Each structure stands twice: as C-alpha cells, then as structure tokens.
Amino acid sequence: MLECNYCGNKCIKKGIRSGIQRFRCQTCMKYQINTYRRQRIGKTDTDLLVKLNNEGMGISSISRILSISKSSVQRIILRVQQYLKRPEIDESDQSYEIDELRTYVGNKKNECWVTYAINKQNGIPIDLVVGRRTTENLRKVVNTVLSFNPKAIFTDGLNIYKGIIPEAIHKIYRYNTNKIERMNLNLRTHIKRLARKTICYSKNQIMLESCLKLYLWE
Ligand SMILES: [Zn+2]
C-alpha cells in the first residue's frame, strides 16, 4: 500500500508496466509508482541551471550537463521566472537609458524586440518587455521609468519615444546610450539565444522572456 504523492490518501496496486508495479490513488485517481528511477530535481540543480543559463548555455546544453530532459529544463525555467518580479526600487531624480535589442522568434522574418530600461548611474535593469516594437510595448517600459520621477531619460532616435516621454526630460543625443548598449553586448554574450552568427535562436517568445528575466533579476 502506498500513500498518494498528491493528496496523501491510499493508493492500490494497479497494473505492472515495464516490470514496475504501478499504483493508483483511490481518491484523486492519479497513477504513480513507489520509487522513481530518476531523482527529483532539487534546489541545487535549479540554482545551477539558472547559472548555466546566465553564462551562455542554451536549453539543449543545460539538458545534457544536468542529465535532465529538455522539457524539464524548460519547465524549471518557467517555474523560476514565475516568482521573479522586477526589483522593488525606491528612488527618484535619477537618469535612465531605454533601448531595444532586435532578435527573432522561430524564423528571421518573425522579428521580436527586447525593450528594457536601466539606471544610467548603477546599470540596474528597471523593466523589460519582450515583443513587437509598438507604442504599446514601449509605453510599458517608459511608464515604469516615469513612475520613478526621473531627471532624464536617454533613448535612441526612434520616433515613438517622442510621443510618450515628456520633452523636458527626454534626451536624444548621440553617444548617450553607451551604458545600455554595453549591456546589449552582455546580453548577446551571455544569453545563448541572442548570440549573433550562430544557429541558436528562440523558438518561443515566452522562453525568451523567461531566460532574460533569469539573467537580469535572479
Ligand atoms: Zn491522491
């Protein structure tokens, strides 16, 4: 007799598959076995997985290094990022840089932009939006920055910004988004799927966003 892994009630023997006795819970009807062949993925593996992701490893490599399936790697990434919120930052009267990084999901025609903002002084990432380069998406990032009562916001010459950032604090000079452009290079180096001139790319926008969140905020 086995205690149910899910609800704690009694399980009864229910068939044998691949020579292993299966059990079924009488209450929640879930099938389970007594001892699983592979160990559950613990906290150490999860922490390591995040580090590998942030050091330029793709999902397939992580899967091989940790000997867990690709779908497990994806599942863990999604689980970890769920609890990641952009940091609670209490500041005002600071300068920020906003920039967009171009990539694609699935195929080169399916453009996707990573728009994000950092504090110009300390480089801390403030907010992140992954998706098309639309006013709506850019506005999300801009609004987060505006909520900190910024002294100045530095962007490139993209026209959309003019309509959503108050003119008094909007700066569009050349060489003024140095810090965030350096950060773009960090992302290209450390996030496998953003690397140029490789065959690595995102197949799924949610995974792209999740991997970025792990990099920026974990
Ligand atoms: Zn049960």
Ligand 1 centre distance from Cα of residue 201 (Å): 40
11 beta partners = 2, 25
pLDDT of residue 85: 81
Provide the token pair at 56: 């330029």
Q: How many angstroms does the Cα of residue 14 sit away from the middle of ligand 1?
A: 14
Ligand 1 center–CA 19 separation, angstroms: 23
Distance CA 155, CA 98 (A): 5
Sketch the domain layout of the chain as residue ranges. Answer: 2-33, 43-82, 95-217
Give the CATH number of domain 95-217.
3.30.420.10
Q: Express each pLDDT in 179-193 by its tens digit.
A: 999 999 999 999 999
Same fold, 43-82 and 95-217: no
Please give the average pLDDT of every successive group of 10 residues along the chain, which has 218 residues: 84 90 91 80 88 95 94 93 86 95 94 95 94 95 96 94 95 88 94 92 94 93
The correct answer on CATH 1.10.10 for the domain covering 43-82 is yes
Is 48:57 a contact under the CB 8 Å cutoff? no
Measured in Å, residue 20 CA sits from the centre of ligand 1 at 19
Residue 137: its pLDDT value, please? 96
Q: How far is the CA of 28 from the centre of ligand 1 (A)?
A: 4
- Spacing, Cα 35 to ligand 1 middle (Å): 16
- Confidence (pLDDT) at 2: 82
7 CA → ligand 1 middle, Å: 4
What pLDDT is attached to residue 107? 92
Whether the Cβ atoms of residue 28 and residue 9 lie closer than 8 Å to each other: yes
Cα(27) to centroid(ligand 1), Å: 5
Residue 86, pLDDT score: 81
Q: What is the pLDDT of residue 173?
A: 82
Q: How far is ligand 1, taken at its centre, from the CA of residue 43, in Å?
A: 25
Q: Kindly list the strands in the beta sheet with 10-17, ordered across the sheet, starting from the edge strand earlier in the chain.
A: 2-3, 10-17, 20-25, 31-33
pLDDT at 189: 94
Compute the distance from residue 80 Cα to the ligand 1 centre, in Å.
Answer: 26
- What stretches of the chain adopt beta strand conformation (E)? 2-3, 10-17, 20-25, 31-33, 95-104, 111-119, 125-131, 152-154, 170-171
